[in-house]
Amino acid sequence: MFEARLTQGVLLRKLLDSMKDLVQDANFDCSSTGFALQAMDSSHVSLIHMQLRSDGFDHFRCDRNLSMGVSLNNMAKILKCMGNDDVLTMKAEDQGDSVTFMFESANQERISDFELKLMDIDSEQLGIPDTDYSATVKMPSSEFARICKDLSTIGDTVLIAVTKDGVRFSTNGDIGSANVTVRSHSNVDKPEEQVVIDMQEPVALTFALRYLNSFAKATPLSNQVIISMSKELPVVVQYRMEDMGQISYYLAPKIEDEEMDGDE
Amino acid sequence: MFEARLTQGVLLRKLLDSMKDLVQDANFDCSSTGFALQAMDSSHVSLIHMQLRSDGFDHFRCDRNLSMGVSLNNMAKILKCMGNDDVLTMKAEDQGDSVTFMFESANQERISDFELKLMDIDSEQLGIPDTDYSATVKMPSSEFARICKDLSTIGDTVLIAVTKDGVRFSTNGDIGSANVTVRSHSNVDKPEEQVVIDMQEPVALTFALRYLNSFAKATPLSNQVIISMSKELPVVVQYRMEDMGQISYYLAPKIEDEEMDGDE
DNA sequence: GGGCCTGCGG
DNA sequence: CCGCAGGCCC
């Protein structure tokens, strides 16, 4: 049997909200190491990989590996019924056909349990190679979200170019073009505002903004986002939840990645 | 070449937001005296005239007179990408086919530049005679906006009648009629709440509320609005930006301007 | 039902 | 000044 208790139940709700627009149905994989999901988005262009470590839960028990297929939309609907400060407990039998979400209000005055039917879902588990990236940018997640949204009003794709002391986001479209440059800097007092660039070699890749905007739905999960890039490899857009795990999005670059010539 | 730097970049965004619903495309006229626009609204009923004086900018350079045709909607989209306290710099080459908007965050940590393509726009520059108006009302802009919005729920037109000690806004429609009277008063402590009436002779004119409601989009630009009227002449609805300039809207009165008989 | 915009709170 | 929530529009 599987049972996991999360004091900050709201975390799981935010995770679902950040995934449900990209993926319809997916398997949650429960094992002694934790609670994880890997899935391609519906158009098979991008990949989500989220993982919550067992030691991040307040209680975690998983007797046998379990793969629970759910409609992320329905699971998100159920999690919306959770109070913002509720403690969440998930439970599933080894051979069961459902998973139960129990919400306890802080003072135990209200206890809810929602049962969600499981579904059989084919899933190809892709191996994600552990790469050393040419460049990694850590920056405020809200700023990344804002930039992707702003650039979407101009163009459909963004060229992300990392140099030693900054990262430039560029796009162009019918009405004109745009560049946003964020400079590397740190602020001891406000670590959540820091922009840290770890660069082995300069890299510049082009991506579809609509996917980056979907990824940015995860902004509420973390103050910072980590963007890792290497030439010709998918970018990784990662949001880390302290002591808990992370959600990472992978998206292949557009070929023709040196400059945006607007002739796409 | 044209280059203008505005510490309060947000001013220009508010200006665009206040014009884009009335006018699609228009020419910005840059000269050594400032940055101006004059345009009829799309239905050729009302006229906008905005002007930012060169000395209101933190830096202003305009080597030759320049007329930049832009889609106000697209320019507004770009200005929405500006941070709320970014410094704005506009740049255009004399013979260029685009204008660049540069946004600098307060700490220079983020620098954006957006290039907007220019368009050729026919514009008839109308002469606006400098009139001595029979009556001028200065009142809180938010109050004027509220009155126009409220009266719109009753009728389509408003009779604005100015007397020595007050201004009356009247309308009527299918469901009934309404009058709002605002009395002249001043408050030394709160000049933004004053209602000042400067009247040579009483005047009462009728206007289409839908245009006044559009004009009221400029409310965020100024605490006060100045309404100037003379018999049979277009009303002027003006918002002044201290040390910077103003935006004025002109709208011809409906004939049959003495009273609203509800038989229109 | 989803996205955008406005208003309110931290 | 930024973030979150609710309401309105598409």
- A71-124 pLDDT tens trace: 999 999 999 999 888 999 999 999 999 999 999 988 888 899 999 999 999 877
> Distance between CA A69 and CA B51 in Å, rounded?
62
CB A2 within 8 A of CB A86: no
3-state secondary structure of A163: strand
* CB-CB under 8 Å, A154 with B111: no
CB A167 within 8 A of CB A182: yes
Q: Taking each helix axis as running N to C, give the angle between helix B72-79 and helix B10-19, from 0 to 180 degrees, rounded to the nearest 10.
A: 150
> Distance between CA B86 and CA B11 in Å, rounded?
11
Q: Give pLDDT, residue A106.
A: 80
Residues of B in contact with A177 (CB under 8 A): 114-115
Question: Does the pLDDT value for residue B263 go beyond 70?
Answer: no
In 3D, which of A174, A170, A173, A142 has the Cα closest to residue A158? A170
A191 or A69, higher pLDDT: A69
Going by the DSSP 8-state scheme, the letter that residue A131 receives in this structure is P
3-state secondary structure of B15: helix
* Closest-CA distance of chain B to residue A179, Å: 5
Integer CA distances (angstroms), B129 to A180, A209, B133, B237, in order? 44, 50, 11, 15
3-state secondary structure of A10: helix
Mean pLDDT of B16-29: 93
Distance of CA A1 to the CA centre of its chain: 27
**Please, what is the end-to-end C-alpha distance for chain A in angstroms?**
52
Q: Give pLDDT, residue B220.
A: 92
Q: What is the pTM of this model?
A: 0.93
> Distance between CA A76 and CA B191 in Å, rounded?
52
Distance of CA B80 to the CA centre of its chain: 19
Look at A61-70, A160-169, B189-198, B209-218 and tell me which has the smallest mean pLDDT.
B189-198
Token pair of A17 as six digits: 């909200």
Q: Which of A146, A148, A149, A150 to mutate to probe the B interface, most B CBs <10 Å?
A: A150
Q: Give pLDDT, residue B257.
A: 46
Residue type, B170: S
Q: Which of A143, A144, A154, A167 to mutate to probe the B interface, most B CBs <10 Å?
A: A154
Planar angle of CA B138, B162, B196, nearest 5 degrees? 25
Q: Give pLDDT, residue A131.
A: 86
Radius of gyration of chain A (CA): 20
3-state secondary structure of B258: coil
Strand D: list protein residues with Cβ under 7 Å.
A 84, 142, 220; B 83-85
* Closest-CA distance of chain B to residue A253, Å: 23
Residue type, A122: D
> Distance between CA B141 and CA A49 in Å, rounded?
52
Residue of B nearest to A165 (CA): B109
- pLDDT more than 70, % of chain A: 97
- CATH numbers and ranges of domains, chain B: 2-117 (3.70.10.10), 135-251 (3.70.10.10)
| Distance, Å, B159 CA → D1 C1' | 41
Look at A188-202, B24-38, B88-102 and tell me which has the smallest mean pLDDT.
A188-202
Banded model confidence at residue B210, pLDDT cuts 50, 70, 90 = very high
Strands across the sheet with B59-62, in order? Answer: A203-208, A157-163, A166-173, A176-183, B110-117, B98-104, B87-92, B2-6, B59-62
| Distance, Å, B264 CA → D1 C1' | 49
> Distance between CA B244 and CA B29 in Å, rounded?
16
Question: Does the pLDDT value for residue A258 go beyond 80?
Answer: no
> Distance between CA A153 and CA B227 in Å, rounded?
36
Q: Give pLDDT, residue A20.
A: 92
